[in-house]
Amino acid sequence: MSVNTKKIALTAVGIALFVVLSLCLQVPVFENYYLCLGYVAMAVYCCSFGTLSGTLVGFFGVILYCLVISGLRGMPGWALGNLVIGPALGLFFRFARPMKPWLRLLLGVPVIVAACALGILVVKSETECLLYLQPFLVRAGKNMSAFIADAAVLILSLPVCEAVDRPARRMFPELVRK
């Protein structure tokens, strides 16, 4: 099997993992919003397999998840928001790799908060403004709980990324990000 075929297959597994984690482990935090634990899969893929793989996991994972649970409601904004969050995470992990683990964890928090703010509060809200013809502040206010919950999941996934990265590098040496 070629390296490209393996990359595609591994990314497809990540997308499926995003959907499964999002569907099976629904932890309610706000009114009708659940923690999206699929973001753990996105973060792990950004960390171990690179920016493109992690971004694809987040983009297509949220599309499939939304289609399964609610049709198109919320999906375009979340998918486009993940096109901001994924590259930010991937670039962070790429440049933070040589740092000590405690420093990666410390610096990861503001990167995640900024990426989620841009992805959820700006991109998702702006997309929904266009789709639902509502004022930006109304959409951003409604998306505040999603921003908080998604940022929290990504922050909590940092130790998971640290734990999974080394085994992933051993299992898939030709596929891991250098």
DSSP letter at 88?
H
Number of domains in the chain: 1
In a domain, 52, yes or no: yes
Does residue 177 sit within a domain? no
Per-residue pLDDT reduced to its tens digit, 143-172? 888 898 889 999 999 999 989 988 888 888
Q: Is residue 178 part of a domain?
A: no
Q: Is residue 176 part of a domain?
A: no
The tens-digit pLDDT sequence of the chain (178 residues) is 787 888 889 899 999 999 999 888 776 766 667 778 889 999 999 999 989 999 999 999 999 988 888 766 667 888 899 999 999 999 999 999 889 988 988 999 999 999 999 999 999 989 888 888 888 888 888 888 889 888 999 999 999 998 998 888 888 877 776 5
CB 170 within 8 A of CB 53: no
Instruction: Let me know if residue 30 belongs to a domain.
Output: yes
Strand locations in 31-165 (E): 33-35
SS3 117: helix
User: Could you give the CA distance from residue 118 to residue 174 in angstroms, rounded to a whole number?
Assistant: 33
Are the C-beta atoms of residues 22 and 38 closer than 8 Å to each other? yes
Q: How many angstroms separate the Cα of 72 from the Cα of each of 97, 131, 138, 154?
A: 37, 11, 20, 24
CA dihedral 41, 175, 92, 159 (to 10 degrees): 50
Domain membership of residue 81 (yes or no) is yes
The pLDDT value recorded for residue 157 is 93
The predicted model scores a pTM of 0.89
**For the domain that residue 126 is a member of, what is the CATH number?**
1.10.1760.20
Distance in angstroms (rounded) separating the CA atoms of residues 79 and 29 = 21
pLDDT of residue 177: 64
Q: Assess if residue 71 is contained within a domain.
A: yes
